[in-house]
Structure 1
């Protein structure tokens, strides 16, 4: 209980921003209603502040008025009203940081308080079950209601996240919020119909479950957009590595909207916007990988002129890593958008120029045998058997007969059949 009291005190103090006047700070009460409301808030007279603010709310689009109204309601512990007016403030100015921060504090306080109630109810449940005493049905009903209230808190946090528009802050807040929504979604599923593994993905239609699923989808979509926005800012400052990291995370998040046939977990709700976002991210990621490779190749040339061998090795490692990531991005794009099967995607003709670029940039790579083998398979898929055979022969030198002989035998047979 002690830590909850501390949180509540911190919440109310942060909402009120109380500054008890000293003799040196005493000033006359302003005549302007807005300034007068600020004066009353600073002097811990929230009811008087609300009296000044109420007439100002009529047909007014000044976000500060709604922010001050919310602070006043929070100061007198009317948190439902405080939430309403913080949200209205953000609707008028989506980057109003103080409103978002205090709104988060209210949700956090409610979450902590409710979690303690849930823990107490769980203890009662265990006690009543083991002793055979007490109304366990009443406890279960109250516990169920508490879980539903907890879900509503997480949904409210999602609403605040969607209203607030500050990419760095949103990105920082996403992981915790998404985990909470995911956990409560899974919990609803298990609580309603047993274990997840026994349930088909598309058969679950509980309204609260779907509401959380839609909120998760909207929150994740906004997170993806924020990652793309930040990646562009990083590119403008030539921070290519940071831009790639952000785009890779965005690409990973988009994959959660696409159905996983090997999983019973329902994918997020895909729409035309996420399809467009996903294509755009893949395109940007490929372009950024190419730009990074060009930079590393140029750096390597400078280090070669200076005979800086360790730096040369570092640039080669970065070139190979980014080239392989570029190829993998292309593979995912082919599977996701072109519907190329996993069995055929590694032999797709669009991979040929990528492997050729990789070998040109790194002719002495330790993995050049693997790259030549992939090229052999890609050319064979195009029925260009002679070029495929040349790459297979090079691959054999590095990989050995056991990896390549079967392919070489098939290629030779195809060449004989074609009469060449």
Structure 2
């Protein structure tokens, strides 16, 4: 009798093991961003291409994994982003959402991801609240944030004499966070904020706002906006003669797609902070060439590079675990080891979900300094990873207390 029981258990165990071995290994990735509005150039379809390149480079398909990518345009609306995320998680079997450009949209998806125990790898949104008061065990904020931009670009400008500021701010979560973090840097370094104005996302006519900036007499007009809003405000500032009149512009979040859109005659001299530039080294150049072949010659922005980097590291972790279904377990595993990344170099994911790596202070070249298409930046300084992002001692993240 005992031998029969043991034999039965052995057969059951063998059958279970065989079923497990034959279980399909699947991952479904959702790229959620702005594909038709102000932020389409720095994320958009390019982020979908970046995710597909990461899947290709992971090698998992050759090992029998099924990996699918879906994408959607949230139109920079938090309610649409939330509805798409719920549908993807509940109905379509999506395991991980990436990019999520637009901070308001990202904050909404962040909570849903936590509730559903999935994964969000945020590359596009900039609000530092994602690793502060809104931090989640299911989210990694990958590329950069408002704290890093403020302390990179803002601090460099204040230290070189730009000590009075007027902010022209995109009126939603991202712009408000960028203004807040930059104003804090300005004031802590002895500067003064003399005024500010909030501007609706997607504004085409900045004239009334620029008149207020001009009237403030501030040395620096801080552009706490992004994408098409940034390029339009800079172009119109040139028409108003703001720089010619003795004020300077501070583009607090500039993408290479913005510089390309404006052209070097307009963008020259802008100082910006970024963790990625396509021409940094052989690895960034190789990736960027592959990307450009699929994007009609366009080089990747930091957001698109972040989608590639985050997706590739996610897939490596999922392969090691053998499963993508427990989001918190996947993120914990990603946090457990250092990251050596082909685009961002060495880094790690902190307990608050902040992916840290070196940041760089760049200056946009003069037209005569550019030797080829997309040859736009020159390096001014490297900001070490441990200095580039908000210290944990200043964080409001509840995960640090648990």
- TM-score, length basis structure 1: 0.21
Which of the pair has the greater relative contact order for Cα pairs under 8 Å at 6+ separation?
2
Q: Which has a greater percent of strand?
A: 2
Q: Which has a greater percent of helix?
A: 1
Larger radius of gyration: 1
